[in-house]
Amino acid sequence: MRIDILTIFPEMFEGPFDHSIIKRAKQKNIVEINIHNIRNFATNKHKNVDDYPFGGDAGMVMMIEPIALCIEKLKSEREYDEVIYLSPDGILLDQNIANNCSLYNNIIVLCGHYKGIDERIREHFITKEISIGDYVLSGGELAAAVFCDSIIRLIPGVLNDETSALSDSFQDNLLSPPVYTRPADFRGWKVPEVLLSGNEKLIKQWQMDKSLERTKGRRPGLLNENTVL
C-alpha cells in the first residue's frame, strides 16, 4: 500500500510513523508513506496556504490552489483508490471502514487546518470523507495518524500473528474479552481457571460470553439483531 499524506505540518508525522507496527510495516516494504508539504505548492511570494473566508467569518481557510496542484501532481503519476479528507462531518471511522480501506493500493490523505479547506476541493477532488469522532481537533494530522494506524495493522504481513487482528474489539461488533498473562496468581488475584485448562472449546466459549457481557455493559449500541446472545 502507498499512502500520500498532504499537510502543512509534516513534522507532526515524525513520531507516529517511526515506531512500533508502522515502522516494521515500512521496513518490510509492505507500506510506503509519503508526506507532502502543501506549502511547497503555493505559488505566491510568501508561500501562503490560507486566506480570509469570503463572507467575513472569523478564522482562516486553506486555499484551493496549493492543494489542487499537489493532488493533481500525484494523480498524474499513478492511479488512486481514494482521495480522503479527514473532517468532523465525514463518515465515522469504525472497524468495518478500516477493514475496507486496508484493501486499497494507493490513497491520498488530506489534512485540513484552520477553519477547513476551500469547499471546491471537497467538490472536485475528495472521494471520501472520514471523521475519527464527534469532536474538533486543531488539524487533521492527528486524525490522519489514527486512520493510517487503523488500516496498516490490518494489511497481511504487518502483524507477526495475523490472526491477532481478527480478535480485536469491534471486528464482530463486540468488545474484546479480558486478557491475562503470567503470573497466574499475583497477590491472590488469580487468572480464571478456564484459561489455564487447555480446553480450547471451553476457552472460546468463555471468551465469547465475556465479549457479550462486556459489550452489553459498556457499549450496548454495538449489538444488533444478528448478535447471538
What would the pLDDT profile of 140-158 be if each residue is shown by its tens digit? 999 999 999 999 999 999 9
Q: Is the pLDDT of residue 32 over 90?
A: yes
Cis peptide before 183 (omega within 30 of 0): yes
Which pLDDT score, from 0 to 100, does residue 224 have? 74
Which pLDDT score, from 0 to 100, does residue 36 have? 98
Residues 124 and 186 in one domain: no
Alpha-carbon distance of 148 to 16, in angstroms, equals 10
Residues 138 and 200 in one domain: no
Asked if residue 163 is part of any domain, the answer here is: no
Question: Which pTM value belongs to this model?
Answer: 0.85
User: How many structural domains are present in the chain?
Assistant: 2
User: Is 223 or 38 the better-scoring residue by pLDDT?
Assistant: 38
Q: Is the pLDDT of residue 170 over 60?
A: no
Asked if residue 41 is part of any domain, the answer here is: yes
Contacts of 187 (CB under 8 A, 6+ apart): none
Q: Which three cell numbers stand for residue 217?
A: 455493559
Helix (H) or strand (E) holding 126: none
CATH code: domain of residue 205: 1.10.1270.20
Residues 101 and 174 in one domain: no
Query: Helices 20-27 and 141-152: crossing angle, nearest 10°?
Result: 60
Residues 53 and 19 in one domain: yes
Q: Which domain holds residue 214?
A: 169-222
User: Is 226 or 22 the better-scoring residue by pLDDT?
Assistant: 22
Report residue 57's pLDDT band, with 50, 70 and 90 as the boundaries: confident
Dihedral sign from CA coordinates of 188, 191, 192, 193: negative
Residues 110 and 199 in one domain: no
